[in-house]
Chain A
Amino acid sequence: DGGITQSPKYLFRKEGQNVTLSCEQNLNHDAMYWYRQDPGQGLRLIYYSQIVNDFQKGDIAEGYSVSREKKESFPLTVTSAQKNPTAFYLCASSGGGQETQYFGPGTRLLVL
């Protein structure tokens, strides 16, 4: 089955800890994205990547980092510099510049 997988489903972060969220796609899509969604709010773009080994900051990149070493994978690290990380994190991919964007099932990050 083609699709996007995210792991883990739930993630707990302690103060001062960096955590990494996984995102893998087998849709052969060039572009991949990370969004953050807070309760009752829309999706806010953290980072996106149009192609392997290249990525751009979105609207709320501070406190986050990404890498794009493989076409299929776009992991997101939430660093200790992100002071309010509790949110629902969504990974998405698309085949091109204006094509349909598909979403993974999401990772819910909670702070202990």
Chain B
Amino acid sequence: QKEVEQNSGPLSVPEGAIASLNCTYSDRGSQSFFWYRQYSGKSPELIMSIYSNGDKEDGRFTAQLNKASQYVSLLIRDSQPSDSATYLCAVCRTYKYIFGTGTRLKVLA
């Protein structure tokens, strides 16, 4: 079992729709959780961080964390073609960050 698992995709959604990205992790001691967006050939850029159970909203993005079920998700509302990228989930336990392999999102115009 991988420490952080994501569906590799591609996840295709029409423009304006909600994209839902999911991530599960195995270490119950994980303390902080992150979503990064990575365009092809570029470095990852932070989308959202979440530290406690529940939802956290920032503009069109909502991160959801459920520590009991060991999953974290990212919702992207009103998806735009510019959102097409690979989304990396990362979990952290005291200086060690573990990344999933990413979900490729394609937003169709």
Contact = CB atoms under 8 A, between A and B. Distances in A.
Interface stretch (A13-21, A41-49, A62-70, A73-81): A41-49
Interface of A: 31, 33, 35, 40-43, 45, 48, 50, 90, 92, 94, 97-106
Given A43-B44, A106-B43, 4 more contacts: A42-B4, A97-B95, A98-B95, A102-B46
B43 to A, nearest CB: 4
Given A98-B92, A100-B34, A100-B49, A42 B99 contact: yes
A61 B35 CA distance: 25
Interface of B: 4, 31-32, 34, 36, 42-46, 49, 51, 88, 90, 92-97, 99-102
A106 B43 CA distance: 6
Contact of A103 (B45, B51, B95, B96): B45
A contact face: mostly helix, strand, loop, or mixed: strand
Contacts, number: 55
Contacts of B100: 42
A43 B43 contact: no
Contacts of B36: 103
15 contacts: A43-B44, A43-B99, A45-B96, A45-B97, A94-B95, A97-B92, A98-B32, A98-B51, A98-B92, A100-B49, A101-B90, A101-B92, A103-B43, A103-B45, A104-B43
Give the residue among B36, B93, B97 with the most A Cβ atoms within 10 A. Answer: B97
Contacts of A99: 32
Contacts of A42: 4, 88, 99-102
A45 B98 CA distance: 8
